[in-house]
Structure formats: C-alpha cells, structure tokens
Amino acid sequence: MRIGVLAASSVANPDVIAPVSAFAAVAYPEIDLLFHPQCLASDGHFAGSDAVRAAAFLEYANDPAIDAIWFIRGGYGSNRILGTIMPQLGPAARNKTYLGYSDVGFLLGALYARRIGHPVHGPMASDIRRQGGDATVARALGWLARGDRSTLEPGLDGRPTAAFNLSILAALIGTPYLPDLADHVLIVEEVSEAMYAIDRMLFTMGNATQLRSIAGVRLGAVTDVKGNEPGWNEPLDTMMTRWCRDLGVPYLGRAEVGHTQTNRVVPFGIA
C-alpha cells in the first residue's frame, strides 16, 4: 500500500519523518510511506505557500498509484487551499482515504460534502512525538493498511458519524464546505482554548440551521484549556447539554477523540 504524506496547513515537523518511517517499516511492512518534499517547505507560518501546498495535495490526490493521503500535522491553513483544490480533483481522488484531524478537518469536511474519497478523523504522523506515540500512530496505519476495527472510536454504533475540532466546525458553518450531516452523530473536540471561547463556539454550533437534522452530539477530549479571568464555573457536560438543547438534538456523552495519545479513528459516514 502506498500512502502519501503531506502538510496542508502550518509548518511541518520534519523530525518525525525518520521515526515514523522506521516504525512503519517494522510494524506495517506492507506500507510504503511517501513523504512529499513539500513537507520540508516553509513560508512563514505555513508549510509552503498556498500554491505550493495546493499543488502537493493535488499531485498526490490525483495520482492513481497512491492509495491514501495521511497528513503530517495540522496547525492552520488547509482552508486557504480549498477553493483551488476542490475543482481540480480527478477520478483517482475519489478512490482514496484521507486521514488526519485538527485543522485538516477543513479538508475532510469539504471532501465529505462532495462525496470525494473516504475522509477519516484520526492520528497524524506528528503524533509519533507523543508519549506512547507509537500506539497512536499505529491506529492510523492499522486502519489505512488493514482496516483494523480495534482502532475505531469505541462508541461508534452503526449510525453515520463525523468528527471535527470545534473551532474548525464553527468556521465551516455557513460555508459550502460543511457537509450535509443529516442523521449523523457529530463528535467535537478542542485544544488550547479558554472556556469562554469554547462556549462561544458552542453557541455557533447550537444555533446552526445546517445542523438541525443531526442525530446528536458527542464530546471528545478538551485539552490544554487556557485560563479564564475571572474563573469559569460551568462544567463542560453542562455546556454541551445546554447548547444541544438549543440545537434541538440530544447530547450523547463523551468520545475518545482529540489532541491526545488516545485519539481514536472515526471514518466519516458509517465505518
């Protein structure tokens, strides 16, 4: 299996290429990881200019010899290339799996909205740097190479599902890149935000007419929460229940996804 690895957002972590390649060679010898040279590019905040990142994505997405695209990391910036890449995706792009999370949610959402390929929310190559990162990365490679169902988020119940970083979801609402999630269970997670900012994004979710027909919402990990001054005293589950009530859908509890070592795999649609 040939898996193309690229950076669609912010500057990549080239120091992860060697350990990820070594791990894959031992644990998944059937995989050939192809790190695009663009993974080494930089343009200020970004892993190369918008044009460079778009070209790398299109090269791998439209290559019939590549079976899947795996993102090296998130950050910010994949939304900036959507207008360029989406009209240029050819037949080969429709047969691929695309796996990542965080900022890559812009791409996953846009692809799912147009039913192009198989978007999957799951660990990226840079997760090898986490404590126990081998196990994290193994979930992504295990799903891509072997369809290993032990990698899946354990709460998936046969209903169609989609997973997003909450800030990415909030940014997608009202755009043509948010997919139709009717009858889907929506999983959200967040990192590096203050509680008031999380509540504000939940306000956007809870009042989004595009989400009125979802089956419910689950909450993944909320990590590295920034300080609030004065303090915030409303628990996360209370916030979720309140905003789901405004949206008119049930809050379905917790999920094992997020910016953590335990991040699990969530294919968009039905696994």
Q: Where are the domains of the chain?
A: 2-151, 161-267
Mean pLDDT over all residues of the chain? 97
Give the pLDDT score at 258: 98
Give the pLDDT score at 243: 98
Question: Which CATH class for the 2-151 domain?
Answer: alpha beta
Give the pLDDT score at 265: 98
Tell me the C-alpha distance between 33 and 98, whole Å.
Answer: 14
- Phi/psi for 215 (5° steps) reads -85, -20
Residue ranges in the chain whose pLDDT is less than 70: none
Give the pLDDT score at 36: 98
Give the pLDDT score at 144: 98
CATH number for the 161-267 domain, one of 3.30.365.10, 3.40.50.10490, 3.50.30.60, 2.40.50.100?
A: 3.50.30.60
Give the pLDDT score at 66: 98
Label residue 49 exposed, middle or buried (CB < 10 Å: 0-12, 13-18, 19+). middle
Give the pLDDT score at 13: 87
Is the Cα dihedral 228, 234, 238, 244 positive or negative? negative
Tell me the C-alpha distance between 269 and 271, whole Å.
Answer: 6
